[in-house]
Chain A
């Protein structure tokens, strides 16, 4: 009998310990004046620390804790946080995961706060609509905007006989690549110093590729093929927001992909998988493996600061009708629905969405603020450091930007489509793969 009592006592104690552990887990933190904010960008984490310090000064007793996790783990960690109940109060989010989180009620709608504070959304020139969900509510303030530009090794370009003006006015078409196609062929060098458009060029021993990694598995192609194919009028979705299908089987798209693959086959661009993911596009340009490439606007200052290398920035190509067309996207600043301090979280998020914070944080050049006045301030500050962002500010002015569609089921689409792009660019599949892709997106978008 004593033994049974001991057992019972032991069981009770264990249970009590478990219960108290649970309650302390959920109870802890309430009443504390700490705002946790997460980002996946190490440079932005450092940039926004300036705002955090100002915010803490203006709100005595409040601490802002900025954490950064690598983008490969960021969304997994965020989901684990939702489940475990310790997700950050507010966080940077990508449109790719917007639908998944909003439909599972993990994001706090901001409309009541926006109304109460009379927060003027029109201060943002881009990205507000990307964070409006199917229920019509606003779930985030846009944190930034991003576009695509052309980055090139100025010395290599000069050696090949081109001027900056030539790069600024490149034309392109999916049939022969236009003046752009001619330029990258000429920029390509093999190990014996022969150029890509010369006789005897050895495509198996290329020393410098005329163009970067355009044959990539990326299913939106934001920094790769998107700025080319969009000049033909092609768009990813059948409508701009919440599309029902991605137009991969459009003849204009298929033709462009054929052109991209021909660059691989001619040795003007690296083959898919040739450089592992540990090699970034900045590494490719700085090591001289690549002479010219398209890249994200958020990389402009990183490219410009490559030591001992003069990097030029140019706009993307002009299409068959003479116009440029560039995809732009905006990350959002979300508040977690489960936060214990929604008011304080909103205070922080709305402060981050103010001109004061945006102008200060964006002088680092690690992101482009969505507020035009801040963007100007940022461009001014970077110009004094010798980084000319006029290529991107002109895109904004000339209205060559078009917004990235907002769509559901992003992770599933990515996992289904990327292997198909890989197989196509590796030469394992032919043009018929694009019809499969289109059908796959149709069923996956319907599921969301």
Chain B
């Protein structure tokens, strides 16, 4: 099942032609209307006329989050302010917001892309979608909401938080689909059991999870606990929001809707594009956006592209799982460590280990130390101290072989790692560098 079969399954030649036309158009638009882009291109000695096909994209300068901050709030808009129908914003670590302006057409395309992902996950017009992403300046809630409505689903805009009410609505409204962050899905599943329900009390069949990196092991956990199929969705507000890429029934990477969002993966050091399959930083060019088109925007997400054919027939390049972000990457004693690697290693390590963990990094005597507090599953049993010690040493060795650096491991009782109702806060870095 497709939402837009023609555009989701474009053959190579047709797609390249479409991408080329759209790239030429967007480069002309930003050069004319966005002074920071004109300045960047002039500085790089590139004119719009130098861009003749999608292959020429490599000639164009990159855009970074800093460019958006420097031109806060409206300096990157390519249309008149009156054509903007909505503003979203995301908070940055430095305090200044990153603002994104959408025209009516931008909202329509974004909604259609979300609708593609919903259909790929199993939604149909009789579906009810429980949207537990936050609504507001964050794009998660409204993105899936509009996609669901465009598709004709019954949308429940419950937003994030108030878990007891979420459970009641899931049972009473019998939603077959849910979307939220993957860490909240696990939390919700655990709370469901605590509240005396089982997965059988729900009508859920599928879920779309994103806005933070997660692992295959976590997918299994969500699928088992909620009795659903769990699909990855990728997006970022700068590019539009959720629904830049979505998984299909084969769950082998998220199809990028690359008729609208053109992906590249670059080497973080040389900034040169990498061949398909190689891991690097994901870069997007918005081919059709009007309000705030971005050229070669550096997402900071670390992943690889997969161009192998997918049995579903969609031709969008697939994103491999996000390994983490180049800017939340931890450097421990010189080794790059992504929390998602730690997560995969610990869940795979032992069945008594849950997916809830917290990493604390500190510097003691000029040496980086990493401590991982790992929560036990509710049914984990221990009768003798040696069983605890054996588990700690097993998890420790599994983690150190997975991430290449040793960490101290502390097991904690079920329920004692702080839960988040939005993006999980999994790292505390106490080092002052």
Co-assembled chains A and B? no
Could you list which residues of chain B lie within 8 angstroms of chain A, going by C-beta atoms?
none
